[in-house]
Amino acid sequence: MPEAWLQLELTRPWLLVALAALPLVFYYFRRSLVDFPYRQRVASLVLRSLIVVLLVLALADLTLLVPT
């Protein structure tokens, strides 16, 4: 296996500042009026946070470098 077998590159790393939206996800988790059980609310928080992170990484153009 090569030395660095997984090489990732961010084409637009300045767009990572959009991760500042994560506290908004947590804020709406705390202020929600939904009558779900606590476990379901936490699962929702985790999935929403994951979606925000993946969207920000897509906007920052995360690419996998593959040697040819």
Q: Give the type of residue at 5.
A: W
pLDDT of residue 4: 62
pLDDT of residue 10: 87
Please report whether residue 6 resides in a domain: no
- Token pair 């985790």 is found at 46
Q: How far apart are CA 9 and CA 7, in angstroms?
A: 7
d(CA 62, CA 15): 11
What per-residue confidence (pLDDT) applies to 46? 93
Q: What domain range is 42 assigned to?
A: 17-65
> Can you tell me the distance from the alpha carbon of 64 to that of 7, in angstroms, rounded to the nearest whole number?
6
Q: Given the structure tokens 């690419």, which residue do they identify?
A: 63
Q: Is residue 25 part of a domain?
A: yes
- Could you tell me if residue 8 is inside a domain? no
- The pLDDT profile of the chain, 68 residues, written as one tens digit per residue, is 455 678 888 888 888 888 888 898 888 888 887 888 989 989 988 999 999 999 999 989 888 888 77
Query: What confidence score (pLDDT) does residue 2 get?
Result: 55
- Dist CA 16 CA 13 (whole Å): 6
Structurally, the chain folds into a number of domains equal to 1
